[in-house]
Structure 1
């Protein structure tokens, strides 16, 4: 399947987010970078840009190049990229709870108050005291133990980060499939235009033969008029095919995120071997989809995140042990209006080890735990539904590819026989053995066969891409599900 720079985005980000979890289907991404930092730097070099694609009307674009352009301009891939980075940063925030918190505090104050004299000294009287204070301070708070609540929060954030990476890959695959479909729609439109030109040429040949026989007195005017009507119909069909081709070009340019224009050109290798056989049985295709589809991976990770949220909610019922302390340098310069007082400049500190245990909260923890259990059931049901849908999609694509394969074989045989039938009917007509009705009938069959051949070829290519998409192999380096017998013969 086609590969482009957009593949690097998916691989790099998946490596950055998922290499920390061994045993996942994305573990092979870790081989693309030595460290997560290197993977992130790799991803940053391929981050989607905000610039609008500018297409060169003189360039023939390959499918890989078109996919690359679309993934850099599609807003869905950019949004998925940002969500994945946000989830990665959220994971960093969750991990920070394992470190102590240091806070620097600087206090500068000035206090003035009235201090009455003790009655033993003076029955009546007071003193005005003013105390300037300067106190730089460092405070520490360290959560030593919380019965796994922090671990659950980190595990939740990690699962959500991995899910975001999978969703980013899935977004890239959806864009790649949409571009592939538009690409093959344009390829079909181009081939329909070529078939329409061939049909017009055939109709013109029939008309020329009828007019030649009319000049020789061996045909009637109605025969010639009938042949001219078929030529006019072929001209009409050609104009329609050319219009559909231009519309397909506009649709492809719009799918790329570029300005809609009929000037886009594709590098279509029409003689390339067609994928005409399956390389994997249906069970292997279903197993690949369940193991490798990024949307399934993302939902499975959402289930894991929901499990960890239950752990966090249960941890709220348990106490936490917190170490607190502060150290400061306190300087004061008190003065009084009746006497001088000495100044002080001494270090002060406080150390405490506290146990915090929420005894009653009006049912908040109970409701949070109930919500966590509900989210877990929701995530599990969604995963099962998505898994069943993936299996149905694989089965549908499998059957559709086999159907397209048989249609392609039938279309080739139909085109061959229709071409021979028309040639023999035209020769017989020119020899006076058959009439023009037989030639026109053979001509219509040949036109239908040409259009059927174009549709069958395009449908086979599209179903091959569909099969890779439904099994999660689009934009990946796994062996494709289909191959060409002709290509195998050439390689041998």
Structure 2
């Protein structure tokens, strides 16, 4: 045949609305169910709430709140803050991410099965130059191909095992990081709680001082009116009263600021009204941290979440080295496929097409051997080794920082304890001195300067004691947070 044959083929996808709608609906149903479905059991690693690791013994009621208690308790403030703090919620989300990655690592041990369906409308035109009798034009309404493929990795020189260990280590790191975030948030909110409680106590103390200054002014005025004391006594007492009232105003402003900060910790508006407990309501010095500072540092190094997180990150990096190396080795897979089609057939050019069906299947083993990857594997392994070295230094840094933090927190607590003891003695002495000065002034054997000096000394001692007791309480919880030994009150 000396003629020329030209073939023009037109093919486009069939859009069958009903089939597409059914396929999309089925896919959406699978996606929705897959989100809730956890066949590889990873959900158990996820805490029930952002604060659950710190309230492990309180059941499922964590982060479920009623109305604000009156007065506000430390535990209530801590739980609200831990549940609503963006940092703790971010750490909780990281645990969910890592748990899903563990599921991916476990899924690598299972076979994958995929199905494909294709439906097309086919038009084939063949024009044979100079021999029109051999030309043809075939139009097929719907050509279908259905196939199912199975692929199962049987052996990969430990690549999947290393990947799963990497995912497990990263999950442990995320869990430890969540605990570290909770400890940090715990330290911040407890400090702010005691600052607000101390500010409330300072306001109460200033009110007492104003009342005492008013009483002193009234006594000085009465004596001046009777002519038994100079008018300067009245003026000096009036000055002391004005100063006490000014200090009261400042204390109220500091209380409002502290309340706003505490509200922010708990995720509420800063102007939300809070009733703080009196300073006298709270823990007193005890023997909770009587171990040596060396013992506390060793305790922290063994259990503090940031160190455990760094250790898990190092384990993950070392597993990544093994995973990267294994990915460059041969892989043995079991493969299988079955396909079916209704492709028509023809015996020769110009012969009409005949309807036909066909099917194909195979089972077998497939070995994949990476031969040359452009040296990329070399550098990937180098990168993984370098990442492991980096994580090793991160671990050392975390250990040094925790030791330093525990040392500082311990010394702060020791100083706060000694300061509190001294302040308790000072406030008792200054109170008695002020009472004696008052009696002496009333009997006319003391002067106004002695009385006012006693009042000011008592005022300073009272405010100093309030500051000292709250600094001790805060230092106690800061040390507890640094060594991962959170008290129950």
Give the alignment's TM-score, normalised by structure 1: 0.79
Aligned to 2:76: 65
Matches within 5 A, 1:359-378: 359-378=371-390
Q: Distance in 2 between matches of 1:200 and 1:333?
A: 104
Aligned to 1:410: 422
Q: Distance in 1 between matches of 2:124 and 2:90?
A: 58
Residues 157-184 of structure 1 show CA distances to partners (whole Å, capped at 9, x for unaligned) of: 1111121122222222322322211111
- How far off its partner does 1:245 sit? 1.1
Q: Distance in 2 between matches of 1:271 and 1:340?
A: 99
Aligned to 2:176: 166
Aligned to 1:256: 266
Aligned to 2:27: none
8 Å CA contact 1:55, 1:264 repeated in 2 = no
8 Å CA contact 2:279, 2:466 repeated in 1 = no
8 Å CA contact 1:334, 1:342 repeated in 2 = yes
Q: Distance in 2 between matches of 1:203 and 1:276?
A: 36
- How far off its partner does 1:194 sit? 1.2
Aligned to 1:384: 396
Structure 1 position 460 matched with structure 2 position 472: yes
Q: Distance in 2 between matches of 1:14 and 1:170?
A: 22
Structure 2 unmatched ranges of 5 or more: 1-40, 48-52
- Residues 407 and 353 from structure 1, CA distance in 2 versus in 1: closer, same or farther, beyond 3 angstroms? same
8 Å CA contact 1:91, 1:158 repeated in 2 = yes
Aligned to 2:21: none
Which one of 291, 295, 300 corresponds to residue 289 of structure 1?
300
Q: Distance in 2 between matches of 1:14 and 1:325?
A: 30
Aligned to 1:334: 345
Q: Distance in 2 between matches of 1:299 and 1:106?
A: 48
CA-atom RMSD in angstroms? 3.3
Which one of 232, 247, 253 corresponds to residue 257 of structure 2?
247
Aligned to 2:238: 228
Structure 1 unmatched ranges of 5 or more: 1-12, 20-25, 34-41, 117-122, 484-492
Matches within 5 A, 1:164-203: 164-203=174-213
Aligned to 1:214: 224
Aligned to 1:301: 312
- How far off its partner does 1:309 sit? 0.8
Structure 1 position 318 matched with structure 2 position 329: yes
Q: Distance in 1 between matches of 2:44 and 2:173?
A: 12
- Residues 294 and 18 from structure 1, CA distance in 2 versus in 1: closer, same or farther, beyond 3 angstroms? farther
Which one of 31, 41, 45 corresponds to residue 17 of structure 1?
45
Matches within 5 A, 1:115-194: 134-194=144-204
Matches within 5 A, 1:40-79: 59-79=70-90
- How far off its partner does 1:262 sit? 5.4
- Residues 341 and 240 from structure 1, CA distance in 2 versus in 1: closer, same or farther, beyond 3 angstroms? closer
- Classify the secondary structure of the residue corresponding to 1:432: coil
Q: Distance in 2 between matches of 1:304 and 1:422?
A: 65
Aligned to 1:432: 444
427-436 or 335-344, which moves further after superposition? Answer: 335-344
- How far off its partner does 1:69 sit? 2.3
8 Å CA contact 2:124, 2:137 repeated in 1 = yes
- How far off its partner does 1:187 sit? 0.5
Aligned to 1:8: none
- How far off its partner does 1:206 sit? 2.4
Alignment length (residue pairs): 436
Q: Distance in 1 between matches of 2:196 and 2:477?
A: 15
Q: Distance in 1 between matches of 2:42 and 2:476?
A: 25
- Residues 423 and 32 from structure 1, CA distance in 2 versus in 1: closer, same or farther, beyond 3 angstroms? closer
- Classify the secondary structure of the residue corresponding to 2:364: strand
Residues 165-223 of structure 1 show CA distances to partners (whole Å, capped at 9, x for unaligned) of: 22222222322322211111110101111111122222223223322332343321112
- Residues 76 and 272 from structure 1, CA distance in 2 versus in 1: closer, same or farther, beyond 3 angstroms? closer
Q: Distance in 1 between matches of 2:407 and 2:43?
A: 30
- Classify the secondary structure of the residue corresponding to 2:484: coil
Q: Distance in 2 between matches of 1:78 and 1:111?
A: 58
8 Å CA contact 1:327, 1:348 repeated in 2 = yes
- How far off its partner does 1:452 sit? 1.0
Q: Distance in 2 between matches of 1:370 and 1:204?
A: 78
Aligned to 1:120: none
- How far off its partner does 1:368 sit? 0.9
Structure 1 position 89 matched with structure 2 position 117: no
